[in-house]
């Protein structure tokens, strides 16, 4: 039995992935997921995905986790980074001590700057991390996808990867948990900045010379990877992870179609941060990740230019075009 905790878009998608792999699967909703769980139990489409879950998936509300968790061989956590610590504290007393934990959460805990695996490692040493480019709707549709499974437990990494493979997903394994988690978190920040460039291109479409803002997008993308690599390197992460699926790959897909990229596009198109959040209507992890990254960067003495640019816009201290221009100029001045 696999228990997926968190019935948002990614949690529901991962439940469907495990069901596709032929594994008995339960989807456990948090106290924030009542509407999604009710819809799924009634056979109606999941509110965030627009499709109904297979009837074989056991969908359970927050008050009926215990029986599933006692028998779950693997627990997959798919909740927001700031809600992770509370969810882990709830799950742990109900779970089997032999259960392996897989974390699909991406980002830092804002209060402590801990990564998801660091939080989960306080209750178990059998921890794996899912990373890489995987938008929930495409997982549901069975579109070609490649992901990364990171764990210091090689057997666990292989087991999780094999489940993905049985569901038709290509899977890489690595022991670079630090690199995978830094990449997973910081790509959200960079995707907002890349998205701002796209929004600016829409606003400046009448100027044929900047109608795509493509040069700026490329510079921001590259700067995000530099930031990511510097931050990971300070903590023992490897460059190959940053420039692979977990970093460059995930950043690319998030910039193209994820909530963070969309949020950035709305900012670039002229919405305020508050308006953009309201338009998105769900958690934009990159917002909290931006300020957590800056705090971590200060602790480790790493300058994070993409995060600095995004923070200036979020704090309404600079307009998107000003923040992007300042970031690119700052990066160029360092090389002269």
Tell which residue, 254, 230, 258, has the closest CA to residue 242: 230
Distance CA 305, CA 326 (A): 9
Distance CA 218, CA 221 (A): 5
Strands (E), the chain: 2-5, 25-28, 58-60, 74-77, 100-103, 127-131, 146-150, 170-174
Output 326-330 pairs: Cβ under 8 A, ≥24 positions apart. 327/193, 327/220, 327/223, 328/216, 328/219, 328/220, 328/223, 330/305
Check if 319 is active-site: no
Q: Helices (H) and strands (E) in the chain — how many of each?
A: 16, 8
- C-alpha triplet 58, 62, 65: angle, nearest 5°: 55
**Phi/psi of residue 324, nearest 5 degrees:** -65, -45
Tell me which of 106, 187, 234, 305 is the catalytic residue. 187
Q: Which residues of 83-122 are buried (b: 16+ CB within 10 A; e: fewer)?
A: bbbebbebbbebbeeebbbbbbbbbbbeeeebbbbbbbbe
Residues annotated as catalytic (active site), given as ranges: 187
């Amino acid at each position: 039995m696999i228990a997926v905790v968190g019935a948002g878009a990614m949690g529901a998608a991962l439940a469907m992935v495990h069901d596709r792999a032929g594994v008995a699967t339960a989807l456990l909703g948090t106290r924030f997921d009542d509407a999604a769980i009710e819809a799924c139990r009634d056979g109606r489409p999941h509110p965030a995905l627009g499709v109904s879950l297979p009837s074989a998936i056991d969908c359970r509300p927050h008050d009926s986790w215990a029986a599933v968790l006692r028998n779950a061989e693997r627990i997959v956590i798919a909740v927001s980074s700031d809600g992770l610590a509370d969810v882990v504290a709830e799950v742990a007393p109900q779970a089997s001590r032999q259960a392996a934990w897989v974390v699909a959460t991406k980002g830092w805990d804002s209060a402590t700057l801990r990564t998801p695996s660091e939080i989960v490692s306080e209750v178990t040493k059998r921890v794996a991390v899912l990373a890489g480019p995987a938008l929930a709707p495409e997982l549901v549709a069975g579109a070609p996808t490649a992901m990364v499974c990171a764990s210091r437990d090689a057997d666990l990494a292989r087991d999780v990867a094999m489940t993905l493979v049985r569901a038709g997903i290509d899977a890489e394994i690595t022991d670079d948990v630090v690199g995978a988690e830094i990449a997973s978190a910081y790509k959200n920040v960079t995707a907002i900045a890349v998205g701002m460039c796209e929004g600016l291109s829409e606003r400046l479409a009448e100027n044929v010379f900047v109608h795509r803002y493509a040069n700026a997008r490329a510079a921001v993308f590259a700067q995000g990877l530099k930031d990511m690599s510097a931050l990971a390197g300070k903590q023992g992460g490897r460059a190959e992870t940053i420039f692979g699926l977990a970093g460059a790959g995930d950043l690319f897909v998030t910039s193209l179609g994820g909530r963070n990229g969309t949020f950035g596009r709305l900012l670039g198109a002229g919405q305020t941060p508050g308006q953009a959040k309201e338009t998105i209507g769900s958690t934009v992890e990159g917002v909290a990740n931006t300020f957590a990254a800056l705090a971590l960067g200060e602790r480790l003495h790493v300058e994070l230019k993409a995060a600095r640019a995004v923070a200036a816009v979020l704090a309404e201290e600079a307009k998107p075009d000003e923040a992007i221009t300042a970031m690119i100029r700052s990066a160029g001045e360092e090389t002269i």
